[in-house]
Amino acid sequence: MTTTAPPTPPDTDAVAFVAALRRLKAWSGLSYRQLERRATQAGHSLPYSTAATMLGRDRLPRQELVAAFVAACGLRADQAQAWLDARVTIACGGPAEATPTARNRSFGRPGRALAGAVALVGVLLAGASAAGAFTDDVEVERTRTSLHLPRS
């Protein structure tokens, strides 16, 4: 590790976050195998191949991987918590001040609205089916099945 300050985590998007993780690895000066050993010593699991894959993508890594990675890089507890907080902020849609309508964020995403509508229709259809709304009453009357077994 160098004597310079470690990079700070951005809380804007996953691409910037992973790029900052790459800078953190470079700052640490450790190989992937060394990171794996240091994570294990800190009580985490971080296989070297997982760390390499994590830094090779532009997707937001899982929280436990970020915790293991920043611990392996040698960050203090408060610095590690800043990385975890930034990850949560990105996972939850970014900083609140980034958009003026942060409270209505889901209304601007047609994919979520469509998924919600499909789920609602599915629940309504299941309820109607369970209530017998799709059965023909005449057919039910003609079928005179008994719930009692005949006595022998």
Please report, as a single letter, which amino acid is at residue 79. Answer: Q
Provide the token pair at 69. Answer: 């990675």
Structure tokens at 102: 């942060």
Tell me the pLDDT tens digit for each residue of 103-145.
Answer: 444 445 566 677 777 777 777 777 766 666 656 555 555 555 5
Own/partner contacts of 3-10, CB < 8 Å, gap of 24 or more, are 6/73, 6/75, 6/79, 8/82, 9/82, 9/83, 9/85, 9/86, 9/87, 10/86
Q: How confident is the model at residue 79 (pLDDT cuts 50, 70, 90)?
A: very high
Quickly tell me which residue has 């299941």 as its tokens: 126
- Kindly indicate the confidence band of residue 98, based on its pLDDT and cuts at 50, 70 and 90: very low
Written as six digits, the tokens of 67 are 């915790």
Segment 41-59, tens digit of pLDDT: 999 999 999 999 999 999 9
Q: How confident is the model at residue 66 (pLDDT cuts 50, 70, 90)?
A: very high
> Do residues 131 and 137 touch, judged by C-beta distance below 8 A?
no
Using pLDDT thresholds of 50, 70 and 90, give the confidence band for residue 37: very high
Q: DSSP assignment, residue 102?
A: G
**Measured distance CA(78)–CA(80) in Å, rounded:** 5
**Between these two residues, 12 and 112, which has the higher pLDDT value?**
12
The whole-angstrom separation of Cα 27 and Cα 5 is 9
Query: What is residue 116's predicted lDDT score, i.e. its pLDDT?
Result: 72
